[in-house]
Amino acid sequence: MAAPFDPAAATADWLSHIPAAQRLAAQNAMDWRMTVWVMGGLVMIGIAALIARNDSLGAIRRRLEANGPQPWLSAVALSGGLTLILLAVSAVIDGLAYWRADMVLFAGGGVPKPPGFDVLVAAAASGLPLGVLIAMALVPLWLGLMRWRPRTWPLFAGGFMTAIILGLSWLPSALGASPALQPAAASPARDAVLALIAQTHLPASGVLAWPAAGLDGDVIGGFGPAKVLMGSDLLAAPPDQASAYVGHLMGHYVHGDTLIVCLIASLVITAGFFAMQRWTLPLAKLMCRRPPPDAADPEALPALAVIGMLTLTVASLAAGAYLRFANYGADAYSLDNARAPDGLVAILERTWDHAAVDPNPLEAAVLYTHPPLASRIAHALAWKAAHGG
């Protein structure tokens, strides 16, 4: 008589397919990234506080307004200067975080040698000019809105940010925006996905070939038929892996996860605007050598920046928490419909991104948008055990 299926032993067996050196390197790299996340955040807040305390923004403003008040010019100059400094520091922190982590992963094996520190910093800084220009265009308008509608400006700003987030992150997928694609060529993987589409009654007419690099695919749409996209590697994958992977993507589509995470981020950011309304002036009085008269004064920008950074951190944590929950839900949808737990586990191992397979809860909460690999494998194999092994 065969022994009963043991999901814990099966999980350990699957994880043993990854060399121990790579798993250890992944954990060490994650520990480093967590350290940089904490220390980098403190450095960013410290830089903003130092700029406020040494009155450098005030000195620039006094020079600009030597012949009379120039509130708009001062707002443009001070917002551009502060943004330039903060984004430059952020680029160095990001470059350091990824360079050291990538070097640790490279030493553990399984990943190519990373580019140098200077290359990573340059890549992180590539968006700096655009960020500065956006700040110089929008921050003066924002400060003007704060003066014009001192009680209700967070609602206006929150509505604007919600529209931006939805327009950039959700709307393209909901509209099914993609280049003109051809139907996927016949293959066992494509046929397995077509059968899954028919079984789940997904409103899609077929499978489209997606010119994406690597093992990838997507399910997009929202205002019409869904589009099921499969890259060449996915079309060549074993049928159980292809159907399990696309079943996961279908789960996100059916559950509306992209829209929900955008709304969560928008809600947190709007709450952050109300925090700015309440706390910017008291914080500015603590930080600045020359306390500004109100929160809309350009010299209060370091305090606004601190609250803004904290708001973005909370928004990232909230979005990450929902995405981890959503990815468990998408895995469950795949398991219940594709019914291919081994295929799902195999595709999870094939697409492992060299993140720690079993990080501590703080690292998972801060740095992960998907559940860690060990817990996802355990979830799939627990489903297998519950359905007869």
* pLDDT of 389 above 90: no
Q: Please give the average per-residue pLDDT across 72-93, as a whole number.
A: 96
SS3 at position 256: coil
Q: pLDDT tens digits for 108-150? A: 998 999 999 999 999 999 999 999 999 999 999 999 999 999 9
Distance CA 287, CA 270 (A): 24
Mean pLDDT computed over every residue of the chain: 95
pLDDT at 2: 60
Q: Please give the average per-residue pLDDT across 317-346, as a whole number.
A: 98
pLDDT exceeding 90 applies to what percent of the chain? Answer: 90
Q: pLDDT tens digits for 201-219? A: 999 989 999 987 778 899 9
Consecutive H or E run containing 207: strand 207-209
Q: Please give the average per-residue pLDDT across 76-95, as a whole number.
A: 97
* Interacting residues of 223 by C-beta distance below 8 A, sequence separation 6+: 174, 175, 176
- Asked if 146 and 153 count as a contact pair (C-beta separation under 8 A), the reply is yes
Q: Please give the average per-residue pLDDT across 243-260, as a whole number.
A: 97
pLDDT exceeding 70 applies to what percent of the chain? Answer: 99
* pLDDT of 92 above 90: yes
pLDDT band at 35 (very low <50, low <70, confident <90, very high): very high
For residue 167, count other CB atoms closer than 10 A to its CB: 11
Distance CA 58, CA 39 (A): 28
**Residues 380, 383, 385, 389, Cα dihedral to 10°:** -80
Rounded to a whole number of angstroms, the distance between the first and last alpha carbons of the chain is: 14
Q: Please give the average per-residue pLDDT across 49-53, as a whole number.
A: 95
- Asked if 53 and 287 count as a contact pair (C-beta separation under 8 A), the reply is yes
- Asked if 235 and 214 count as a contact pair (C-beta separation under 8 A), the reply is no
The domain limits of the chain are: 7-176+257-386
pLDDT at 138: 96
pLDDT band at 265 (very low <50, low <70, confident <90, very high): very high
Consecutive H or E run containing 63: helix 56-64
Q: pLDDT tens digits for 173-193? A: 998 877 788 999 999 999 999
